[in-house]
Chain A
Amino acid sequence: MKMVHAVIKHMRLDSVQKALMKIDVHGVTLTEAKGFGRQKGHMEVYRGVEYEVRFLPKVKLEIATPDEKLEEVIDAIKSAAFTGEIGDGKIFVFDLLDVIRIRTGERGEEAI
């Protein structure tokens, strides 16, 4: 099993969610996140005082998936989150040790 973390733009969230539903992904956890990458930040000016805003708002999705479905999930996110501009985000993949469904006690891929 794999854990996928995708950091994407807010404006692409809706299409990413639709793309994931299309390939039958059962669950997603979403976090409002802030960060910087190559996009860096931007300037804001309030009454003449300039502030460099380094951390930009993004959305972080967490998706647990069976190994064989991993590439499908990555492709779905990649194509739906793509605008071609700097700041589109990143996808991180981890090995996932176990999953437990609290209600039934199921474990492993059954619980995803």
Chain B
Amino acid sequence: MKRIKAVSMLSVSIGTILFASSAAFAAGPAASGIDSGDTAWLLLSAALVLLMTPALGFFYGGMVRQKNVLGTIMHSFWTLCLVSVIWVLWGYSISFGPSIHGLIGDLSWFGLNGVGLGSSPLGSPKVPHLAFMAFQCMFAVITPALITGAFAERMKFSAFTIFIVLWSTFVYAPVAHWVWNPHGWLSTLGALDFAGGTVVHLNAGVAALVAALVMGKRKGYLETPMMPHNIGYTVLGASLLWFGWFGFNAGSAITSGGLAALAFVTTNTATAAAALAWAFTEWAHKGRATVLGAASGAVAGLVAVTPTAGFVTPMAAIAVGGIAGFICYIAVNLRPKLGYDDSLDVVGVHGLGGFWGAIATGIFASPLVNPAGRGLLYGNPHQVIIQFEACGATIIWSGFATYVILKVIDAIIGLRVSEKDEEMGLDLSQHEESGYNLS
């Protein structure tokens, strides 16, 4: 009897903790000013962006060798699981919570305390705060997943797990705060970043460069063949990324109106232009347009149009995407000569593409399509300088903090799998599974 009583007491107290924020929830449906169209589009967009992370797993998974396909897909899938929980616990609060000097949010929204069904204090008052939180969660998920391409085929799974927890807490959250929290210091400076070129892509690209340098090359890099084992997976992943990116960019309008339509059109146009530019460039350069090239070009275009999407005309999107496809092709071709093994070209595609997109926003932003942005071509050269400042701050912080995080993990448990495990492949050595058991 006594024991039952104790258990029920315990469950009551757990219930009290779990529903501590129920006051905020109760405020929900009755709250006025929620727009059903905006909310529907935002929730759907969040689901679209969610799809991008497993899609990235397939994009990367096709490019590695057969023995690492599961380990690579797992990097994305595992990140989706880890960051979804971190975001609810503390990630959202330190990214978007009440600002401490524009540098970082405080912990007052820990466990989504006070984040409820009512009107959102951020983004748009016409959507529930929970919907805005969920949408932002998906961005926090995909950003660290992007980095995984840099250390594919050689990272220890335990070290990887710790890396994702630390990186999303100490790198992603502060940078998201600077750019997207209205009190963040880059936001008050006037930097334009429609859907996360700096926060997501440049940030991940810089972290990828640092990770590739700290981790070192794969065993036998440039000596033994490391061909993509299933380019069909890569194209499937790129296509699903493209699809999900409509949520990423058009969803970032946080409204289902004209701005979302603009971002939708610029996203599609820039992506197609970039795929064409990449493939035509390699056709001219190497004599063949490759499937991997078209898929890679599409992703470069998606990256570059991310900060630009809601600020430029569809015609400008062709230039943004076309230039992205061209320069990312050059960068990726230079990689073997640069001496580091960024295995799946996160630096060349996301780093450079994100950087170009940020600068392109400063050049092409048109007040005629969106009064919030005026770029160089519309008489405001200063915007380009602000864009450079935002990029510079991201590069410095992401580079420094990623380096420290990796060095600490390396000192404590080691980042790399043993040579024997690397030879065996991550699927067997880290997960005791094989990607293909066909017979």
Contact = CB atoms under 8 A, between A and B. Distances in A.
Interface of A: 44-49, 51, 53
A78 to B, nearest CB: 32
A44 B335 CA distance: 17
Contacts of B296: 47
B409 interface: no
Contacts of B222: 49
Contacts of A48: 332-336
Contacts of B125: none
Contacts, number: 26
A55 B12 CA distance: 68
Contacts of B286: 45
B59 to A, nearest CB: 13
- Chain B interface residue bracket vs A: 10 to 19
Contacts of B345: 47
A49 B332 CA distance: 9
Nearest to A45: B286
Contacts of A47: 292-293, 296, 332-333, 335, 345
B227 to A, nearest CB: 6
A99 to B, nearest CB: 26
A44 B225 CA distance: 10
Contacts of A45: 286, 288, 290
Chief secondary structure at chain A's binding surface: strand
A44 to B, nearest CB: 7
A51 B228 CA distance: 11
Q: 5 shortest A-B CB distances, which residue pairs? A: A48-B333, A51-B225, A47-B332, A49-B336, A46-B228
B333 A46 contact: no
Residue among A47, A49, A53 with most chain B CB within 10 A:
A47
Contacts of B227: 44, 46, 51
A51 B333 CA distance: 14
A69 to B, nearest CB: 33
B336 A46 contact: no
Contacts of A46: 227-228, 290, 292
Contacts of B292: 46-47
Contacts of A53: 225
Contacts of B333: 47-48
B9 to A, nearest CB: 61
A6 B226 CA distance: 31
A69 B385 CA distance: 84
Nearest to A44: B227
Nearest to A51: B225
Nearest to B228: A46
Residue among A44, A45, A48, A51 with most chain B CB within 10 A:
A48
A49 B227 CA distance: 9
Given A44-B227, A48-B334, 20 more contacts: A45-B286, A45-B288, A45-B290, A46-B227, A46-B228, A46-B290, A46-B292, A47-B292, A47-B293, A47-B296, A47-B333, A47-B335, A47-B345, A48-B332, A48-B333, A48-B335, A49-B222, A49-B226, A51-B225, A53-B225
A48 B227 CA distance: 11
Interface string B66-96: 0000000000000000000000000000000
